[in-house]
Every structure is written in structure tokens, then in C-alpha cells.
Amino acid sequence: MSLLQITDNHDWKDFKSFLTDEDTAEVDLPNLQKIADINISKLSFDDNPNLLIFPHDLNQHGDKIGDNCIISLNHRNEISTSNIMGFVGINETQLDIKSRFAKEDKEDYFLHYMLERVFSINLFDMKHSSSEEQIFDFLIYLFPYFLKKAFAQGLFKKYRRYEHNNANVKGPISISRHIKENIPFRGTISYSTREHSYDNEITQLIRHTIEFIKTKKNSSFILNIDNETKECVNQITMATSSYNLRERDKIINRNLRPFQHPYYSEYASLQKICLQILRHESIKFGKEKDKVYGILFDGAWLWEEYLFTILEKHKFKHPRNKDSKGGIPMFTNDDNNNEIDKNSRKLYPDFYKDDFIIDAKYKHLEKGVGREDLYQIVTYMYCKKAERGAFIYPCKDENIKSLKLELSGYGGKVSVLPFYIPQSIECYEQFKNKIFASEDNILLKVKIPTT
């Protein structure tokens, strides 16, 4: 097994310099070439079912994670990365892509902290012996998030066929079964009914996942992480009265076809993460040839969602382009204007309220703001009649100053605000204490009182 450790947004460098296994002289380059320079959207979920990507909708974020590559290789076999971070492997080659704020041979506290905030989990033990164990831990940590999202649409039910043999006929008579069971006639009739049931292959899969997590000493606490999760677990337990541990493989096989439903859409992601948790050992020890496996996060998406956990309590709105929720109208009246594409009639800044627009950027804005980013935020401010706009970006240097730009024309101010990510940290608790101060500081920079 060969393991490379690299960071996101890394410039070209000989990939051999990232090897961590001293016993491995060389990574199997053809393995890297199988995933290099391929858009993530082309790594079909059907072809690589054990690759989990966030966000699931690859076009949900403005940066369109689907258009990015996990890594790129040039003609000199030098490697570079984009905003993608996480763990990915193919055959016997693994990549551990940390955030650029993780130091060499250190835990990636920043990535873990963003995951903790965005997915509402509590991470205690940060020590792992392999990237495969980290993949498995992340899968379990993320389970409550997808469980609650699915349950927001209700407990899944579907029609099931039930076989009966009694005198209260309520459905089609099963002739062959009736002859077999009721000759000579004894007053009962064999028939079948088709009824809605909460006890089905999807809820059974969730139940098996819950029971599996309960056996994990260091992870079982996740099922009691909050009252909502506990209630979801209780509902699944009550709904799946036919649960049988010995039927786990049977239930897994019945769920290998991706779930699709016009209403219970969130169960598709829950089904996938349940399968990955239950099949982790088979993935780990019986890797399918040339299949990509792992868990990846779009750093730009994760950074934006993390900032929202800070700004939400201060009444900032976070419009969702994918769901057509929120947003700022570009025109005062365009109801019947067919000359303009409907997707262009609304603007979706990252965050806004009153007269303030905020744009989350996971870029190196220490080097300056690009023209397109500036044009975009000025457009948002103009249509919202906002006097203030700001870019917020993460940085390593605590001493970088904020930048304020005065707009000409109708006026207004655009700020470029660095968000310090703590460095030289010895433990996760120390990191959290220091980043709390960074969160308070960014709120002061946008003139929001801290509590």
C-alpha cells in the first residue's frame, strides 16, 4: 500500500516527495493517472459507488465541484491539487488530501473543525492509524446528518405484498397457495394484499446500520448526539419489527440499486452512506480493481457552509440556487419576459441581509481579488441597494490587514477580510479555543457585536 499526503491548492511538485511509506520506493504511477485530470462529474457514482463526494449535487456550489479534478499530473509527473480535500484511493494507492492549513505530519484540525460545525457533530479522538480508518470514522460521524435530513421528509414507506390465510378475504385469492394450504377445506382462504408499510428494505438498511454502529465502542455515542437523532433512531427501531441480524447481507443486496423517489429524495444519500458503512470491511480488504473509493469534500463549499454557521445567528440569509430559494431579483418586473433566461433573473450571493453582501472565498486573497469576483459582488450590491460588501477568506498569517475599497458612482464600500486559521497548535482543544477568537474577530470586522 502506497500513501501520499498532500494539501489542497498545491502547485506543481514531484509526486514522489509526498510519499509517507518509507518501505515503498515508488507509487504505482498508472494508478494516479487513472484519476488525474478527470472531472469529478465523470467519476460516475454508478461506476464508483464507494466514492462519496460533498456536496452531493455537484453543481450546487458556484465553483461547480463537478468541473474540478481530484489531482492533475503534468508531463513531468508533477502533481497539483484544487479545492478538493479528503481521502481517495484506487487499487493499492491512496491519497490523503489535507487542507492547506494542516502542517506536515500534523492532524488536519481545520478540516475536522469545519466538518464538526457543518454536520453538527462532536469530534473527540483525532488520532488515526490510517486513512482508511479516517474514511470509516467520517462515514459514521456523518450518518446522523443524513438521517435527520431524510427524516425531515418523513419516515419512508412503500407498498409491500402480504400473504394471508384466514376467513376475512380482503384481496386477490392465491389459487395455488389456497389449494396447497386449505385442501381439504377448513374455513380459511389464501389471499394477498398490497399495503403501505414502514418496514421495508430502506428502513431495514438504516436499522442494520444503527445496530452496526452500536457495536463500535468509540463511535456509538453518535446515535445519542442530540434529541433529534435519538428520536430518528427510536422511530426506525419501532418501524422495523422484522429486523434480523442474520439477514444483513440480504438487505444490503436488496439496496445495491440506487434509490430513486420523487418525494423521499434525501433517502438516496442516506442509503449510500449506510451501504458504505456496512460494506466498509469488504471495501477495505477486497478492493475492486480500478474502482475509486473514499470521501471527498469541496473546500469552497465547506468553507461557505462553515461561515454560515457563524452568520446565521445574526440573521444573514444564505440563498440556495439549486432549490431556487432566496436570492435577489435582478429586475423589477420580468414575469413575462421570455427574452431573458429564467436562471439569469435572480442573483444568489453567498450571504446577505439589509444593506450588506458577504462573499465566502476559499481562495488566496492575500494575492488580491480577481476582476470577476469584484464585478460579481458590485452587481449584488447594486441590485440589493447595499452599501456594504465583503469578501471573507481563510489565511495563515495573523498579521494580515483588512482591505477597504471605496466604490465610485453610487458609492459603497467593499472589504477584503482575512479570517485567521490558527497555526502551531498542539491539540484539537487548543485549536478550537483559538478559532473561537477568530470567529469573534471576523464578526467585529463586519461590525456585528459578539456575545
pLDDT of amino acid 26: 52
**How does DSSP assign 312-346, residue by residue?**
GGGT-B--BTTTTBS-EESSS--TT-TTS-GGGSE
Binning pLDDT at 50, 70 and 90, where does residue 306 land? Answer: very high
CA distances 22 to 3, 96, 97, 119, 284, Å, are 10, 16, 19, 35, 22
Question: Beta strand 413-420 with 388-395: parallel, antiparallel or unpaired?
Answer: parallel
pLDDT, mean of residues 240-269: 90
Relative orientation angle of helices 201-214 and 267-278, to the nearest 10 degrees: 50
Scanning 13-130, the segments in alpha helix (DSSP H) are: 29-35, 109-118
pLDDT of amino acid 311: 93
Binning pLDDT at 50, 70 and 90, where does residue 130 land? Answer: low
Cβ proximity of 280 and 274 under 8 Å: no
pLDDT of amino acid 334: 58
Neighbours of 387 (CB within 10 A): 15
CA distance 50 to 241: 29
CA distance 403 to 234: 52
pLDDT, mean of residues 381-396: 93
Q: Where are the beta strands (DSSP E) in 169-322?
A: 189-197, 292-298
pLDDT of amino acid 21: 54
pLDDT of amino acid 437: 94
Which residues on neighbouring strands pair with residue 96, listed in sequence order?
5, 87
- The dihedral through the CA atoms of 335, 341, 342, 345 has a sign that is negative
CA distance 81 to 85: 9
Peptide bond just before 184 cis, omega within 30 deg: yes
Res. 431: pLDDT tops 70? yes
C-beta contacts of 227-235 below 8 A and 24+ residues apart = 228/148, 229/144, 229/147, 229/148, 232/144, 232/147, 232/148, 232/151, 233/147, 235/151, 235/155
Percent of the chain with pLDDT strictly greater than 90: 31
Question: Beta strand 356-360 with 388-395: parallel, antiparallel or unpaired?
Answer: parallel
Cβ proximity of 77 and 96 under 8 Å: no
Locate cell 492532524: which residue? Answer: 107
pLDDT of amino acid 324: 54
CA distance 391 to 125: 33
DSSP 258: P
pLDDT of amino acid 439: 94
Q: Which of 60-69, 150-159, 221-230, 380-389 has the lowest mean pLDDT?
A: 60-69
Q: Output the pTM of the full model.
A: 0.81
The whole-chain average pLDDT of the chain stands at 82
Res. 66: pLDDT tops 70? no
CA distance 390 to 381: 10
Percent of the chain with pLDDT strictly greater than 70: 81
At 86, list the grid cell: 479528503
Tell me which amino acid residue 311 is: L
Burial of 37 (0-12, 13-18, 19+ CB in 10 A): exposed
CA distance 378 to 226: 41
At 8, list the grid cell: 489542497
CA distance 208 to 307: 35
CA distances 316 to 330, 438, 446, Å, are 19, 19, 12
